[in-house]
A and B are shown apart, each in its own frame.
Chain A
Amino acid sequence: MIRLSGVAKSHSAEAVIGPVDLVIPAGGITALIGPNGAGKSTLLALIGRLLGLDEGTIEIAGYDVATSRSRDLAKIVSILRQENHFVTRLTVRQLVGFGRFPHSRGRLSRSDEEAVSRAIDFLGLRSLEGRYLDELSGGQRQRAYVAMVLAQETDYVLLDEPLNSLDIQHAAQIMRQLRRAASELGRTIVIVLHDINFAGHYADRICAVKDGTVAHFGSPEEILRAEVLSEVFDTPVEVVPGPRGRLAVYY
């Protein structure tokens, strides 16, 4: 369970997050949606301790992220940000191997190697594991990053727009794999998504963020409603029944 109480963070007078009170239950996929600049990514970065809090507390599985040791937290929560650029040249397998650092401190044991192999196979990257990252397509590279985060084998996985710049095939593929990670491996996944329909279809819970605060939190059925979405995005949204559940139409 991730518990945020009275969380606030201000970048400047205009960009203020909070106060946010939110409880994300363990298990399943929770999607963060909302307009640009609403604070989704900042909220995720606060949970993942990439940014420091100004006020309030965040607890993940009982650990206070502000006071717990970073290396202990790295065994229960992992975070992948939107932009990843490495100066070092790495193969897919080496990158995924870094995911084991919290457990191995850089000395990969046999069980670490097996965890790396599992994560690579899970994302269907086996044939690419010896390739260098700069030789891969954007979608393949994105999957490699996700594999690294999964190899960390943390109960909580935070992903900041992992579908960014992916085509529909790869976006759907990653979402299916995350869905399986949540149901088969029992991970709790918190993911920032831009596509409302992806959120509606794959997530168990949706958290709508607006102006730095949580505007709505609930099941996809509760959030995928015309009046809720129109209010959150400040734009007319219709919700129509589709072949696999409700669909938001906003164009």
Chain B
Amino acid sequence: MADAGASDAVVAAAGSGTGAEAGAARRSGALPSLRVRRRYAAVVGGLSLLSLLSVAGVLAWQNPLPAGSEGFWRIAGLRASSLVVIVVVAFCQATATVAFQSVTGNRIITPSIMGFESLYRLVQTSAVFFLGVAGLDLVRGVWQFLLQLALMVGFAAALYGWLLSGRYARLQIMLLIGIILGGGLGALASFMQRLLSPTEFDLLTARLIGSIANADPRYLGVAIPLAAAAGGLLWLGARRLNVIALGRETAVSLGVDHGRHRIVVLLLVSVLMAVSTALVGPMTFFGFLVAMIAYQLSDTYDHRYLFPVAWLTAFAVLAGAYFVLKHLIYAQGAIGVIIEIAGGTFFLVHLLRKGRL
């Protein structure tokens, strides 16, 4: 009863106006205390520094001409297009994974299991299978890039539209069907790969492992506006995404049209994933790894703060890995391999250590 009496007094005080100052002093921001705010600033600072070091490394390491000369900048300019690809891929993967995990209320899945990557594998494999080595060149080009994007987004839209708008719309079932379809498409691709000649298979493999070198700079003119539009919409809806992340019932009680927004978010996610996959190839664990690190580092529920940290993390990881692999150990094709090994290990260690996500 003492408890109830105390809050009586506070309610009375609030009525007489002294509560106004108390209310102003007590804030419910995304970063509730000074300690959390400092930590967030330190995280952003640290990640920015890492990113800058990677950028400097990629541009200047073993640049044969003296720093600052005209030739130095010309070489740096050639290398910069890889950095632009990294910026775009980091943005797509980070934003898509964080949004996808929030909207599904599940932090152990990644949007790439929804069949995008298997579809990409199947398209590339079919090209080689039916058209031979020349087919690999036929699937390169801006129009082909667009067509692949349309195929992947169309696949996702059909899946979401079919499974989430019905009367018994269940997210878990949709995810399961997405994974099974992805598995089926992947199996078909593997089967076709078995029938290829070793040369064809060799050429195809290079294309199927996520690699910055896969990206054709011509694609960027299409990829950047698409990624910016889809990602921008997600960033603009960050406040609503915060509510959707609380689950359907809470979101509906707070007046958010959960069903409609969920499909919109999933479609925007599929555009981002399709752009990233069509640009550099499959990177199954990358988004997951980045989102996981971003949650740990930013320690907030608010997507307005989560998205930037996830993007910065993605850029730092990808640019760092690219620099090390390309300029230090000369194995740039293996970037997808490294990230998947590192990502998979991180996932296991994290899961076993924390026991929760």
In the complex where A101-B255, A117-B14, A130-B32 touch, is A87 in contact with B4 (Cβ < 8 A)?
no
- Which 5 A/B pairs are nearest by Cβ-Cβ distance? A74-B255, A106-B239, A114-B23, A97-B28, A71-B255
Whether A87 contacts B252 by the Cβ 8 Å rule is no
Could you tell me which residues of chain A, from 84 to 99, have a CB within 8 Å of some CB in chain B?
Answer: 84-91, 93-94, 96-99
Within the complex, which residue of B26, B30, B242, B253 is in contact with A117, where a contact is CB–CB below 8 Å? B26
How far is B241's CA from A105's CA once the two chains are assembled, in angstroms? 11
A130 touches B255 (CB 8 A): no
Could you list 15 examples of A-B contacts with CB < 8 Å?
A50-B253, A73-B255, A86-B250, A87-B106, A88-B301, A94-B32, A106-B239, A108-B27, A113-B23, A113-B26, A114-B23, A117-B19, A118-B23, A122-B11, A173-B3
From the candidates B4, B102, B105, name the one contacting A177 in the complex (CB within 8 A): B4
Extra pairs beyond A86-B250, A110-B24, A113-B27 (18, CB < 8 Å): A74-B253, A75-B255, A79-B249, A81-B249, A86-B245, A86-B246, A87-B101, A88-B246, A89-B299, A89-B301, A91-B32, A94-B30, A98-B243, A106-B243, A118-B19, A121-B11, A130-B32, A173-B3
Q: Which residues of A contact B257 (CB under 8 A)?
A: 70-71
**Total residues of chain A contacting the partner, CB 8 A:** 54
Instruction: Give Cα A93 to B27, complex, Å.
Output: 8
**Which residues from B are CB-within-8-Å of A80?**
253
Chain A residue at smallest Cβ distance from B5: A124
Cβ contact within 8 Å between A87 and B28: no
Q: B107 in the interface, Cβ–Cβ < 8 Å? A: yes
Find chain B residues with CB under 8 A from A106 CB. Answer: 239-240, 242-243
Closest residue to B254 on the A side, CB-wise?
A101
Contact partners of B19 in chain A: CB under 8 A: 114, 117-118
CA distance A49 to B252 in the complex (A): 8
Please indicate the chain B residues that have their CB under 8 angstroms from the CB of A116 in the complex.
Answer: 23, 26, 28
B242 to chain A, nearest CB (A): 7
Question: Which residues of B are in contact with A by a Cβ distance under 8 Å?
Answer: 3-4, 6-7, 10-11, 14, 19-20, 22-24, 26-30, 32-33, 101-102, 105-107, 239-240, 242-243, 245-250, 252-257, 299, 301, 357
Tell me the complex Cα distance, A76–B30, Å. 26
A123/B7 contact (C-beta < 8 A), A73-B255, A105-B239, A117-B19 known: yes
Q: Is the CB of A124 within 8 A of B30?
A: no
- A176 in the interface (beta carbon within 8 A): yes
- The closest CB in chain A to the CB of B3 belongs to A124
The answer on a CB contact under 8 Å between B33 and A130 is yes
Interchain nearest-CB distance for B289 vs A (Å): 18
Whether a CB of chain B sits under 8 angstroms from the CB of A212 is no
**A27 within 8 A of partner (CB):** no
Min CB distance B251 to A, Å, is 9
Residues in B with CB closer than 8 Å to A19 are none
